[in-house]
Structure 1
Amino acid sequence: MKWAKVVIKHVILISSILIACMLLIISISVYLWQTTDEGRLPAKTAVVLHAINNNLVSLDINIRPPAIVSGGGSGGNPLLREDLVIPVQGGVQIPVRMYRPQGEGPFPILMYYHGGAFIEGYGSLETHDNIIRSLATRTNSIVIAPSYRLAPDYVFPTAVEDSYSAIEWAVEYADSFNGDRERLSVVGDSAGGNIATVMTLMARDRHGPEISAQVLLYPLTTFQDVPLESREIYDSGYYLLSRQVMYLARDLYTPDKLMWSHPYTSPLQAEDLSNLPPTLIITAEFDPLRDEGEAYAERLAEFDVPVRATRYRGVMHGFISFYEVMQSGRYGLQETASFLRQVNQGTADIGDAYNLQVRQPPQGFDRVRDQTEAFAIAAYLIGRSGANLFSTP
């Protein structure tokens, strides 16, 4: 039996050494991923960006090891999902996805415009379904997300005309799905944030439906060549949006240079931003669109539009899409939902004086949780990379 004890001791020793080596590899890897030319990233942001930029996961991210990294869902009234087609300009129809609570209602209506650089293949209802669904649950609202037509086949103003037709359809048929046309809001991210705010301009200019609120998540607000520091610093594409894609979007969506100065493409330079609804704008620190989103908030305030702007530190473009794995994404989603609920309940208090709020990366327990999950995900990614290496012929 003596030899058995010796074997067991050696097995324990070797196992301990292997575990220590693995932990060291994970720690060094995460440290290196956190180190960038633009600044040091929080562990969770670094791990997520490493996974995406090295094609270890797709943008509809799913890198949660079972029973280790929890999701960011929300309970409540079960939702009904409907995929419809609605008529728009030119006698054609576009797909629309609707999530609505069960019950009599009437429920507030929220129009959601997905991001994706206005270009086919960069964003869709499928890539943004988690946000669409979660907002319906968290706000107890009917969320209608139109799949507007995209470049290069369809250039400006097709996308905004499709999107506006979707608003008119929602208002006209609100009674059929228990919607409250008096509580109508618009939300969009990135290119969809551009479309969302353009909807408020079009509704004002055309004396159309009254929009109660707008939420713009890291929006693109100008196609013009204006000096913006964030576009210069974070243009590599590592933070999920590159200068190359921005130029491609401009070339394909607005091929005529005259289009760049139109208020329905570049609301940042619009001459009149008055009489727009209460606004929440969320930006990300490591995002080429950060400065123009915040500049747009300032311009809205100049026209006495009630506006709140929040910059989330330590995160990249599109971070709210990753709310299931990033605590900052959950914060951003919660802020969005809270703002919309307050507007719908008539309790929103933005205040008269505009100021940019800067939200720090998760602290306390949330920081510990994020770091623990980051190392767990890193272990999963390293293990996956190793398995792929050994399985390669």
Structure 2
Amino acid sequence: MEDSNGAEIKAPPPVQRRPPRPRGGGFTPEGFVAALRRRLSSGAAVAARASFAADSGDESGPPEPSSSHSRRDSSGDTSSAGGPGDFTAFSFRAAAPVHRKAKESPLSSDAIFKQSHAGLFNLCIVVLVAVNGRLIIENLMKYGLLIRAGFWFNSTSLRDWPLLMCCLSLPAFPLGAFSVEQLAFRNVITDAVATCLHIILTTAVIVYPVLVILMCDSAVVSGFLLMFIACIVWLKLVSFAHTNHDIRQLTISGKKVDNAPSTDDMDSLQAPTLGSLVYFMMAPTLCYQPSYPRTENVRKGWLIRQIILYLIFTGIQGFIIEQYINPIVVNSQHPLKGGLLNAIETVLRLSLPNVYLWLCMFYCFFHLWLNILAEILRFGDREFYKDWWNAKTIDEVKYKSS
């Protein structure tokens, strides 16, 4: 073909078009079978069959397609190697069996501990927050904000010098116990005399603060803190006396004792020093020993976070006492004057805030405060408590809480 100038014009290449789909009566079963085979041999179908086989527990699922399992004919159609009678391609169809092996329900006793229950746990948290949120709003609407400083610190708290002086004088008792042990290790006094002096010191460290509190009109927190510190000093002195008595038996008197320590423990058995006593009185432990495991350094960032958490949980404890426990106690009748049902109802109303208060006190003291002291003093053994919440008996709870 030429144009007006005589140049030859090439004809465009012919466009190959797909033949139109047969409509109506033009439907051919051979075309449908070919399209179905192409669909079943695709990657989506293979993935669906593998997923169904894994979910149904069928370990002998259909094999993955490969060049040896499929063939392509001259027309471009792909067919399964199993031929028309191979029904593995239909494993994700409705005709495939769903129940292939015996399985337990997720909440049955045999399968409940073999899977995660994070969803149920989250649901319990949501319900707990909703219920307690309603109780908080109801309490605020009924009583208002009841936080007041007079219950904790009144006008006499800052002038409560007798309790403060009593607290500052408590270190005299550990120094007295240290002097008794020094005399006993030098054989100046006998073991019987040392034991009697320790009994006098440990009794005085409890009786002395009680007498001061009874003679002075102090605030609640001041008296509580004084007795709390006095009880800790008493327990530490008891351990100090027992441990040094055993050390004297093992190193000086040469007596045979049961459960004798090993050679490594014998190397650490020595007379108490003033530095070891001071560290023991400040360390978060009630068991005296001449030396303790120590950490390398103090983590300042971690320590600041623990102090902030300690202040937050201390405030939560005060809120629970002031906002929930005090109004119930003040507004309730005397247990002996009211009926039995009123007494039971009061106890049940106090049970929930008391549980929350006890949990906050446990976390605040045994975890936060003791870890703060241990971090400052580089005290290595931080196992202040065990998993008492998994205990099955009361004795096991006592063991894991100590």
Q: TM-score, normalised by structure 2?
A: 0.21
Of Structure 1 and Structure 2, the greater helix share is in 2
Q: TM-score, normalised by structure 1?
A: 0.22
Q: Which structure is richer in relative contact order (CA contacts within 8 A, separation 6 or more)?
A: 1
